[in-house]
Structure 1
């Protein structure tokens, strides 16, 4: 099956009567131009979106009268930090930015993929990071560049 567009998001629809099949896409693959995956129920699916876009958790990529196929971003090990002040927020983001690690926000929480050296650095600087399991969604846009 070849998918070329996103049909909507499961959060915005009522598909209670349809079976749900899932494609698991890791957070670091959501903006790839071409993906080949196998769904939870064993369907081989190629994804090549005609309109450049990133995949989001819950995106519907196929629907018929009996089932829908959605994108699921699985949880992974992450570092979570809740800054106490805007100054602390700036310092934390500066340290993470120096490592060129993608940054995710969820309310007042800063989240990054787990990286032990970064975790230890944040602890050393007194920021009180927590190791958690989370879905990495809501990434801040970042620019790719070479030094």
Structure 2
């Protein structure tokens, strides 16, 4: 089967719609979410080709296929992350500036900054006394490098 578009998102389906369908999952690394063309296998052993449009990226929970009996859903494999818990907006600004100079992709959820694990960043956080934790988490979307010029 070739998937050309995302049908829906699992969170947009009500409980009855989800529960009456058999769910298969496609497990992807977060880096694979940005690949427009790829071959994947569901947790039930079914092989799929994904060929999406130019600007579409996959996200955790995307429904690739749905009929009256089944669903195929994207599930992101947890990454090793540094979760930064700044105490003040100034502390957030200062650490964001220092990390920005390294051109590291980051994501923000609630009052936390998420980065892919890097021992040098962990060392910086320890030296600066910035509260953080090292966690294994599934991110909802891929980490993207920002275009930059110096």
TM-score by length of 1: 0.90
| Structure 2 Cα separation of the partners of residues 11 and 138 of structure 1 | 15
Q: With CA pairs under 8 Å and 6+ residues apart, which has the higher RCO, 1 or 2? A: 2
SS of 1:91's equivalent? helix
Query: Is the CA contact (8 Å cut-off) linking 1:62 and 1:68 kept in structure 2?
Result: yes
SS of 2:90's equivalent? helix
The answer to whether residue 99 in structure 2 is matched with residue 96 in structure 1 is yes
| Structure 2 Cα separation of the partners of residues 108 and 69 of structure 1 | 32
Query: Is the CA contact (8 Å cut-off) linking 2:105 and 2:146 kept in structure 1?
Result: no
**Gapped runs of 5+ residues in structure 1?**
none
Partner of 2:23: 20
Higher helix share: 2
Query: Is the CA contact (8 Å cut-off) linking 1:105 and 1:139 kept in structure 2?
Result: no
Query: Is the CA contact (8 Å cut-off) linking 1:105 and 1:140 kept in structure 2?
Result: no
Moved more, 87-96 or 6-15: 87-96
| Structure 2 Cα separation of the partners of residues 5 and 41 of structure 1 | 21
Query: Is the CA contact (8 Å cut-off) linking 1:122 and 1:128 kept in structure 2?
Result: yes
**Gapped runs of 5+ residues in structure 2?**
none
Q: CA RMSD in A?
A: 2.0
TM-score by length of 2: 0.88
Q: Aligned pair count? A: 147
Partner of 1:11: 11
